[in-house]
Structures are given as structure tokens and as C-alpha cells.
Structure 1
């Protein structure tokens, strides 16, 4: 794994990555651990959590996995407290936990809508508020990256619930960046396009023909690598981005430009 920042960039800091046991979240957690952070990951699947913790621990840093549902505000608050005791106060937060599935909007059930919006939007809010409250009380530094999606800007016919929730995450991030800048808290967004070897791409764009159609619409002609998303998160979390807040960094190979 090649990171653009040095191995001491996050030395002595504690990072929390939600949805950190697989896909983009795990790549982000691995990158932060490689750059010296103690890392906590949240997930719902204990088996995947254990496997991710093993991978992270192999890098020689202090790592903990916590099985928790980000929709449960009370559970989140007690987990944030526990992470503080186990690893130290959280200085770096990446909200990556998400839920998504393809569905015709007319077929989307109230439960399907509610479940995705609560994981993506309410979950991000629950974790961010709990972590920021501690940082503001102690005066400790905090940098937050929330994972968005390019679909939040364009809309998405088959994932209206997820695109709507992620759009809310983007607006929430900008609102909190304005609200908390005077506390020294920075919040930014990374919005990936289609990313290789992730549950999202596998589940949403399973057929080769459909994927080929999407690739034609990307000027760079390929999908993003998970590591490229992780690198962008590391930059925004680091002091290299000390004057950057409320920004949405789009990583889509130029897709939003069109192919002209």
C-alpha cells in the first residue's frame, strides 16, 4: 500500500471509521493505521469486524472493533465513551457506514426508505454529534470526513433513498463546518464515483454490460481504486488540509464533466 503522507502523519492520534470492516472503509482504516493512528472501527457484522481487526493489527498499531448500529443514538454515545477509554479521545472521524440497494421508486417500501436514510443520514449525525461534543468540551482537535456519493449531485433513478440521504449528509457537513469552525473542528466530504471491489459496485452494477456502459461515461475510462479514496480522506484529515473545511471532493475520473 502506498500512501502519500509519511508514516508519522497521525502518530498518537485516534481515528474512528464507521463501516470500517470492509470495502472503502477498511481501506481508509488501513491507511490511517499505516500513518500511525490508533484505529477504532464500527460495524454490524462481528465476523467481518474480527477479520478487519486482524488485518489492521498486523500493521502493529492499537486497533479495536465495536459491533454497533449507528442508528442507535444511545448506543453510539456509550461506544464513543468506550473508545475514549480504550484508545484515547477521537481526533479523526470518517463516517462511511451506509446502506443501499436498487429499487424502482414506486416499489420502495416505507421500511426500505427509513432504513437507508437512518443508517446514512441519521447515523452520520449520531456519530458526528457525539464525537464533536467531546472535542468541544475538551478543546481537543477534530477533523471529520464524511463519505458522500456523486449520485447526490446527479440524482439516481434506482437508488432514490440513498442518493437523497447522501445529499443530506453533504448539506449537514457544510452546515457543521460553518457551526464548528471556531472550535477548530473541520468537516469535509469525499464523494467517490464507482469504486472497484466494493459491495456497492458489485451489488448495484453486477452485469458486465451495464458496467461497460458506465465506463464509457467516465473520461478516464476506469473505476476508482479504494486506495485512491483512502488517500483523499487522509489528506483532508491531515494538517496539510488545515485551511480546508466544508469542501466536497469529487473523485469520479471526470464523469461529471461528460465525455463531450
Structure 2
């Protein structure tokens, strides 16, 4: 864990995180709890969400898991109400639930495309709309987890590119409408992140896939989970109090080189690889 932040940075705050049972969002939940926040973790699987919360409590943090699918507004609103009853008004809400798979557009079903858009884009809208009435009055942060696909067209990722681009514009629009409510809205756009389920799906050939992906990143490595959590923590802290309506890429410079290396790697993963 990086030590660039003072201890107790989020003391007394309530952070609500969707998709917090695993991967990037779980590490964000762990980091926020370590900095003093009470953390509500919402996911489709109560077992996974509560498992993440149990691990946080085991090291002295405050956390509780709740079950809801971000595609179901009513279920999400109910889970948020339970979280509000447990920990009070929400200071920070992170919309992190996401879905992905590798498929060429010509071979993708309408249902497959819609599923990712519903989880990522509609799920982000549902999250922010459902939490609005529960936010700390006059002072709160909304943070969406987007991806570099929002600005970087990529082969096999038509569904994700569309959904993430929508998230970016949603955050920018809400930043205009909700600023006078004291709500600050931003997004982070990670590139490849090591040790995540998402990248295991996008790099099915292991080291071979990773070599192709990293060839398109100037820093020649993926991010680690702590680096993503550090950016989320910064944006939800007082140090970022005038950063609003912004999408920040955290990609080792990948967007400067473009999507071709990553997209080619994904295309090749769909085809037999010569032995």
C-alpha cells in the first residue's frame, strides 16, 4: 500500500461501492476502509460482497455486504436504503460494477451487447440516481469506473466501448446538473490491470496474451490494484475538491499509442494460435 496519504483521510465518512466484491472495486473498498470510511459493498452475490466486508472487518475496518443487481433499480435502491440505515448518509458512491467478454461485432448477439450496456452504463445511472437522495447534504462524491475503451476504439470491444463512452458523458452531464447540490462527479478510466478477473478474460493465453497487450503500453506494464485505489482515494479526498466532471485515464500511456496492439491481441485470442 502506498503511504502518500495521511492516515484517517476518510474518517467518519460512508463509502458505498457497487461491484466491490472483487477486483478493482474490492481493493478500493479495502483502501477506503483502511482510511477510516465505513464501507457498504453491493454486488449481485451476497456471499461475495459479504466476504469482502468480512475481510475488512477482520483487520479492524467497518464494512457490510449487500446484494443487488445494478440492472434492477428497485433492488439497488432497497440495498442502498439498508446501507443508509447501517452507516448513515453516503459521502462517497462508486459505480464499479462492470461486464466484459471478447467478441467480434459480427459475431456478437444483440443480447450480449445489451447485457454489457445494461451492467456498465445503465448500472452506473441506476447507482447514481438511486443514491442521490441518500447523499450527505452539501458534500458528496460520485465516482464512476470507466475504461480506456471509452475514448479508444478497440476490436472485439464494441459493446464495452459504447458503454464506457456513455459513462463518461453521463458523468460530465451530472457534473453540470448536480454541482449546485454539492455533488462532485468524476470517473477513472483504467487500462489493463494485473490480477483481475477482467484481464484474465481478456488475456486467455496467459503470458503470450500479456506480451501482446504490454507492447501497446509505453510503461510496458499493467497497473496494479493499489495504483487504481490510490487514484480513487485522491479523487474522493479534499485534495481533489476542485476536480469535477473529469475522466482521468490511468493506463501507463496506452491511449497515446492507440488501441491497435491491444485490439489485435484480443482478435488473435479468438483464433487458434500457431504452435
- The SS at the match of 1:78 is helix
| Whole-angstrom distance in 1 between the partners of 2:123 and 2:211 | 33
Q: Does 1:116 align with 2:83?
A: no
Residue by residue over 1:156-193, the C-alpha shift from the partner in whole angstroms, topping out at 9 and shown as x without a partner, is 21121112101100000000011111111101111000
Partner of 1:174: 172
Deviation at residue 140 of structure 1 after TM alignment: 4.2
Name the counterpart of 1:45: 45
CA contact (8 A) 2:17 2:96 kept: yes
SS in 2 for 1:188: strand
Q: Which runs of 5+ in 1 are unaligned?
A: none
Give the aligned partner of residue 95 of structure 1.
95
The root-mean-square deviation of aligned C-alpha atoms, in Å, is 1.4
Q: For 1:5, what is the secondary structure of its paired residue? A: coil
CA distance in 2 between partners of 1:191 and 1:3 (Å): 23
1:7 Cα deviation after fit: 2.3
Contact 2:214 2:220 in 1 (8 A): yes
> Which runs of 5 or more structure 2 residues have no equivalent in the other structure?
259-275
Q: Distance in 1 between matches of 2:50 and 2:93?
A: 20
What is residue 65 of structure 2 aligned with on the other side? Answer: 65
Q: CA deviation at 1:87?
A: 1.0
The residue number in structure 1 matching 2:25 is 25
Q: Which runs of 4+ in 1 moved over 3 A?
A: none
CA–CA separation in structure 2 for the residues paired with 1:77 and 1:170: 23
The DSSP-based 3-state class of the residue aligned with 2:101 is coil
Contact 2:146 2:189 in 1 (8 A): yes
- Structure 1 Cα separation of the partners of residues 192 and 45 of structure 2: 24
Alignment check: 8 A CA contact 1:132 1:142 kept: no
- The residue number in structure 2 matching 1:54 is 54
Kindly indicate whether the alpha-carbon contact (under 8 Å) linking 2:42 and 2:79 is maintained by their aligned counterparts in 1.
Answer: no
* 2:19 paired with 1:16: no
Asked if 1:144 corresponds to 2:133, the answer is no
> How far off is 1:76 after superposition?
1.3
Partner residue in 1 for 2:194 = 196
What is the deviation of 1:3? 4.4
Residue matched to 2:271: none
Q: How many residues align?
A: 257
Distance of 1:191 and 1:161 partners within structure 2:
16
Q: Report the more deviating stretch, 205-214 or 190-199.
A: 205-214
Q: Deviations over 1:24-81 (max 9, x none)?
A: 0110000000000000001112332232112111231221101110111111112111
Deviation at 1:134, TM superposition (A): 2.9
Question: So what's the TM-score if we normalise by structure 1?
Answer: 0.95
Contact conserved, 1:14 with 1:39, CA < 8 A, in 2? yes
